[in-house]
Amino acid sequence: MADLAAVAKTLVAPGKGILAADESTSTIKRRFDAIGVENNEENRRSYRELLFRTPGMGKYISGVILYDETIRQKASDGTPLVKLLTDQGVIPGIKVDIGAKPLAKSPKETVTEGLDGLRERLAEYKKLGAQFSKWRAVINIEGEDIPSLYSIRVNSHALARYAALSQEAGIVPIVEPEVLMDGDHSIDRCYEVSVRALRTVFNQLASQRVDFDGMLLKPAMVLSGKEARDRAPAETVARYTLHCFLSSVPAMVRRSAACRGSSPSHTAAACRPLRRRRGRGRRRTSSQRSERSHIVRASRRRRATANTTPRWRRSPRRSRSRPERPRGPARSAEPD
């Protein structure tokens, strides 16, 4: 596991980031259509070769997530694209899930698939040069009933199975439980869902014996929905997000990838100074303590008003004193 920990540490080196170049054929088609480029294998190879030959790329990029087609491709001069990355000191990675599919018995929710044959695919990717992998679970928020605990548990179990198989193959897994920002939910609702999802994920990871030092967590920010009326400002988002991580992520998880790039840039920037202050071990100010108390109180109010207490706990508690059982007729000491 020492090699996995070293790779994980390199991927989150200060001043560097991970480039996602794992667009599927259908996704990259939309990008090519926007600029009038035909979507064929040659153009896709040329596009990625252009990225990977950028001079000085290794100064700012620690790793690149590749697609199944890309990790097998070669440059115009016959050099494997993976070698172009390693020559610049960039670690190649691979996306191994096959996408989110409708969840059985809950069609409004999804589960990420790709576990079938994953052990064999990981062994092949390892031979092709992959040193880390990525799996994305999608959790959407819709009203008070979605996501269901069923959906969170199924996706968490799949993430843990993937992570265990990746470490078995000598590959660092990036665990990504993404809570989508689509919808009109409040930041309190997003916080509640994010905490539940992260705690369930790490419960499953521990059950599957995943080494926390040899993995990366790629969480999402705690945000108001894109269609919410009163969206929380950047400073509030930063505090909710950090409080969520501190209360959900085990202390043994020493490395985490940055929040998703789909979040607004000013929101992501607000997290950085707060992360530095927390990392230095400084005591929270009175305003920070007040903000944290507000987050906790708001979350408790939501749980109380939404009546999310399990049914078995809502039922009235039985009295400890058992009722006296009715006794039968007194028996005679002497036989009849």
Tokens of 241: 């997000």
- Domain boundary residue among 75, 95, 115? 95
Q: Catalytic site residue 74?
A: no
Domain-located, residue 297: no
Give the β-pairing of 132-139 and 106-112. Answer: unpaired
Is 182 found in the same domain as 42? no
Q: What is the mean pLDDT of residues 304-323?
A: 51
Mean pLDDT (the chain) is: 82
Q: Of 23, 95, 109, 218, which residue is the catalytic one?
A: 218
Domain-located, residue 323: no
Predicted local distance difference test score (pLDDT) of residue 269? 53
Report the domain count for the chain: 2
Domain-located, residue 301: no
Q: Are 228 and 184 in contact (CB under 8 A)?
A: yes
Instruction: Answer whether residue 302 shows pLDDT above 70.
Output: no
Residue 272 to residue 290: CA distance in whole angstroms: 20
Of 123, 107, 130, 229, give the one whose Cα is nearest residue 169: 123
What confidence tens digit (pLDDT) does each residue in 267-297 have?
555 555 444 444 444 445 555 555 556 565 6
Predicted local distance difference test score (pLDDT) of residue 296? 58
Instruction: Answer whether residue 177 shows pLDDT above 90.
Output: yes
Predicted local distance difference test score (pLDDT) of residue 268? 52
What confidence tens digit (pLDDT) does each residue in 188-205 have?
999 999 999 999 999 999
Vertex 325: Cα angle to 320 and 329 (nearest 5): 165
Q: How many CB atoms lie within 10 A of CB 229?
A: 8
- Domain boundary residue among 64, 95, 126? 95
Is 89 found in the same domain as 101? no
Name the 3-class secondary structure at 131.
Answer: coil
Q: What is the mean pLDDT of residues 145-152?
A: 93
Is 160 found in the same domain as 108? yes
Place of tokens 């200060």: 14
Question: Which run of H or E residues covers position 317?
Answer: none
Share of the chain above pLDDT 90, in %: 57
Q: Of 49, 176, 178, 192, which residue is the catalytic one?
A: 176
pLDDT band at 66 (very low <50, low <70, confident <90, very high): very high
More confident residue, 82 or 336: 82
Domain-located, residue 310: no
Predicted local distance difference test score (pLDDT) of residue 280? 42
Is 101 found in the same domain as 89? no
Is 189 found in the same domain as 79? no
CA 42 to the chain's CA centroid: 33
Residue 142 to residue 182: CA distance in whole angstroms: 9
Among 5-14, 84-93, 135-144, 266-275, the range scoring the smallest mean pLDDT is 266-275
Is 157 found in the same domain as 240? yes
Give a three-class secondary structure readout of 40-72: CHHHHHHHHHHHHCCCCHHHCEEEEEECHHHHH
Tokens of 312: 């078995």
Q: How far is CA 81 from CA 29, 88, 90, 317, in A?
A: 20, 11, 11, 65
Domain membership of residue 102 as a residue range: 96-280
Q: Catalytic site residue 192?
A: no
**Helix and strand counts by DSSP (H, E) for the chain:** 12, 8
Instruction: Answer whether residue 93 shows pLDDT above 60.
Output: yes
Domain-located, residue 291: no
